[in-house]
Amino acid sequence: MVAIKNRYDFVYLFDVKNGNPNGDPDNGNMPRIEPQSQKGLVTDVSLKRKVRNYVELVKGGQPPHAIYMQERAVLNNQHKKAYDALGIPPETKKLPKDNGKARELTRWMCTNFFDIRAFGAVMTTEVNAGQVRGPIQMTFAESIDTIVPQEVSITRSSVTNERDAEKERTMGRKHILPYALYRSHGFISASLAGDETKGTGFSEEDLDLFFEALCNMFDHDRSAARGEMNACKLIVFKHALPLGNARTQDLFARVGISKKDGVVLPRAFSDYNVTIDRENLPSGIEIIEPCSGHGHGTG
Amino acid sequence: MAYGVRLKVWGDHACFTRPEMKVERVSYDVMTPSAARGILEAIHWKPAIRWVIDAIHVLNVPRFQSIRRNEVGGKAPAGKIRSAMKRGDLEGLQILVDEDRQQRASTVLVKPAYVIAAHFALTDKADGDDTEGKHLDVFNRRARRGQCFHQPCLGTREFAASFELVEPGEPTPGPAPADRTSQLGFGTPRDLGFMLWDIDQASGKPSLFFRATLADGVVQVPRPGSPEVRG
């Protein structure tokens, strides 16, 4: 596997309809909200979880795409049988003695586990090499407009406990957003993928898989709480140089999102105009839209 | 002393965790010198140089928000990895996150913005080719073009930092008039108490602290080895 040679910055748009994209445990599982701006938030870890689950699903948990941080919910019983001898030679390249042992371990983990190659991990070794910084850095997604969560009371006609038997009905609660469009930013560092000592070996193939996960992961994450969630657009800025060719804030500013004329309450992705300024791109910058072929984001 | 650099950094959130409150993380009111150093190193660093933070200019009034997330308690155990390596399979190596779940709140800063003023010193790993001028040029060139080794962050990696170089000769950006309040130490200096200065990686990782004061929106950072830096 050859590590990636380019830096990437990406803008990721996804939306939710009549669902809760990410509950806030401090707030009775209401959708997360930034109190001052009243905009919705989805945490980075929530998005990473879905990426992991997608890769798990597609690759069946097989090395070199095994997933280290697993959820019991997505474990399928096939795994246990499927782990046969890997045939991956433990790399025994001579390394400086002080942290060579830890390096060997972290490298082996990177070779086998997709999520460690992509996002990094912390391991219990004393030396610094026990910490792997992955090349992918994801940030909180923020909604384009303010959100107004609705509380929906629901009833259920059966009860769990014997002692409630005469009640016949119990009430429950759901929080939903009628509609919200979220924007998230991410960064992929070529240096942290390919650096001689720190690199995780995150490859071009891994990169394609990661983008595929972003485009499709909500399709495999359906649940009663989520409502309809969809990836709308993934706009990737590819830099020719590993250290980059342009400032991220200038690139991200090229992606503009606004409500269409006459729309007061957006209720669909088609209520928004998404513009990508392709004029006078800095030299060495290329715009890629990996989700275009996935039947999403037609807006 | 070499001519220094100034870098403006800003983002949506930041978390400069107080070491005494790192389980349910609580951020310091302003960026620590150690976090500032990490940002500069994300743009340019070589073993031949050591960044020294001179001052941190705070451009807006600190505002906090609490975010609670599901986190994992454990680290990957080295012993288990070693035996899996020997066996050559991954059986039982994974962490089941729902069984090792900790819900932790982080009290983070909202919409922070700073200017870092710093310079660097050459270390004993520097050889004949390493001149301060050369590294200064490399840093300025990268910061001007937005190049970096990895995207710098404001305390933790999910809070990415945007950055731009404050060109030599330009005035240092300051807070907007509305933010020139006592909270940023305008009028009377504001005592921020003891704050992490940096962690001494070379000698067994003790944390070093200093008494931080915010005066007119600026925290002056004591020099390495000065008596104000305490272990």
What is the total count of domains within chain A? 1
A151 burial (CB, 10 Å; 0-12 / 13-18 / 19+) is: exposed
Which of B12, B147, B160 lies at the smallest CB-CB distance from A244?
Answer: B147
Q: What is the pLDDT of residue A238?
A: 98
The answer to whether position A92 is within a domain reads: no
Instruction: Indicate if the pLDDT at residue B2 is higher than 90.
Output: no
Rounded Cα–Cα distance for residues A184 and A44 (Å): 9
Q: What is the pLDDT of residue A127?
A: 65
- Please judge whether B89 and A142 are an interchain contact, meaning their C-beta atoms are less than 8 angstroms apart: no
The encoded tokens of residue A106 equal 């972290």
CB A239 within 8 Å of CB A285:
yes
The list of chain A residues with pLDDT below 50 reads 76-97, 295-299
Residues 6+ apart with CB under 8 A from A143: A39, A40, A41, A180, A181, A182, A183
Averaged pLDDT for residues B8-29: 95
Q: What percent of chain B has pLDDT over 90?
A: 71
Which residues from B are below 8 Å from A85, CB to CB?
88-89
Enumerate the CATH 3.30.70.2660 domain ranges in chain B, comma separated: 5-68+108-230
Least confident of A229-233, B52-56, B64-68, B90-94: B90-94
Which A-chain residues 154-173 have CB contacts (< 8 A) with chain B? none
Domain that holds residue A237: 8-44+133-288
Higher pLDDT, B137 or A82: B137
pTM: 0.91
The answer to whether position A247 is within a domain reads: yes
Least confident of A17-26, A204-213, B1-10, B130-139: B1-10
Write down the mean pLDDT value for chain B.
92
Write down the mean pLDDT value for chain A.
87
The encoded tokens of residue A35 equal 């109190």
Rounded Cα–Cα distance for residues B200 and B213 (Å): 22
Higher pLDDT, B43 or B168: B43
Higher pLDDT, A269 or B82: A269
Dihedral sign (CA B102, A74, A19, A274): positive
Which A-chain residues 128-157 have CB contacts (< 8 A) with chain B? 130, 133, 135, 137-140, 142
The answer to whether position A28 is within a domain reads: yes
B159 near A CB under 8 A:
yes
Q: What percent of chain B has pLDDT over 70?
A: 98
* Reported confidence tier of residue B98, pLDDT bands at 50, 70, 90: confident
The encoded tokens of residue B133 equal 């001028």
Q: What are phi and psi of A259, to 5 degrees?
A: -70, 145
Q: What is the pLDDT of residue A103?
A: 79
Instruction: Indicate if the pLDDT at residue B90 is higher than 70.
Output: yes
Q: Which CATH class is domain B5-68+108-230?
A: alpha beta
The encoded tokens of residue B138 equal 């490399």
To the nearest whole Å, the CA of A26 is away from the closest chain B CA by 6
Q: What is the pLDDT of residue A272?
A: 97
Nearest residue of chain A to residue B69 (CA atoms)? A25
The answer to whether position A281 is within a domain reads: yes
Q: What is the pLDDT of residue A138?
A: 97
